[in-house]
Amino acid sequence: NAGVTQTPKFQVLKTGQSMTLQCAQDMNHNSMYWYRQDPGMGLRLIYYSASEGTTDKGEVPNGYNVSRLNKREFSLRLESAAPSQTSVYFCASLVRKNTEAFFGQGTRLTVV
Amino acid sequence: AQSVSQHNHHVILSEAASLELGCNYSYGGTVNLFWYVQYPGQHLQLLLKYFSGDPLVKGIKGFEAEFIKSKFSFNLRKPSVQWSDTAEYFCAVNENRDDKIIFGKGTRLHILP
C-alpha cells in the first residue's frame, strides 16, 4: 500500500530551469494539496485540488502551476525556477475535508 | 483570510514534564482542527483532530487537545512527555466552507533525556 508517492525525492535546478514535481495517491482520495516547507515558516499551501478537474490557489501560488491529471495524480510545475523556490515540497491527499491528510515523503528542491 | 498562530516556536522540556502547545485560529465560522507531528527526517502524521462533538479530543501517544470556541483555540497537551516526543508539531485549520487546509508555523519540541 504505497499511499502518497512523490517524485523525485531530490532535485537541483539552475535559476530559470523548469521542472515538474509529480504526486500520485492510491487511496482513491478526492482532494490533493501541494505545500512548501521552509524553516520557521511551517507549511504553506501552494495550490490544492478539491476534486478531479478543479484546482485553486493557496497562500503562495506565484511562480507555480498545477495539473490535476486524474483522480490519482496532481503535479506541480515550476516554469522558471528561482532561488526563492528552494524548499521542501510536500504533496498531501485526503478523502474529504474533516479527515486525516496523508503526506508524501517530500521533494527537496535546491535552486542555484 | 484564515490564519493559524502557534505561540511557541521552540520548546525545551525534560522528560516527564507536562506539555501544552498553543494554537489559535482567525476564522469564526465552523472549522475542522488538526494537530500533526513531524519526526526528524519524516513526513507529517496526524496526532488528533476535531470536527464536532466533545471539544476534548484524544489522539495517539497520549496527546489530547481542547477546542475552546470562544477563544478560537485548540491547544495540544500531554501530561508527561518522553524523549521520543522530540519533533515538530503543527496545528492546522480547515474552514468548513472550503477545502483549504492552513498550517501554523510549527513548534519545535526538544525533550531532554
Residue B29: what pLDDT?
Answer: 82
Chain B residue closest to A36 (CA)? B103
Q: Are B103 and A43 in contact (CB under 8 A)?
A: yes
Q: Is the pLDDT of residue B1 over 80?
A: no
Is B105's CB within 8 Å of A106's CB? Answer: no
Q: Are B107 and B5 in contact (CB under 8 A)?
A: no
pLDDT tens for A14-23 read 999 999 999 9
User: In which band, very low, low, confident or very high, does the pLDDT at B76 lie, cut at 50, 70 and 90?
Assistant: very high
Backbone dihedral angles phi then psi of residue A41, each to the nearest 5 degrees? -115, -5
pLDDT tens for A45-92 read 999 999 999 999 999 999 999 999 899 999 999 999 999 999 999 999
Residue B45: what pLDDT?
Answer: 94
Q: Are B52 and B38 in contact (CB under 8 A)?
A: no
Window A:49-108, CB contacts with B under 8 Å: 50, 56, 58-59, 90, 92, 97-101, 103-106
Residues of chain A contacting B1 with CB distance shorter than 8 Å? 59
| B50 bridge partner residues | B33
Q: How many C-beta atoms surround the C-beta of residue B7 within 10 A?
A: 12
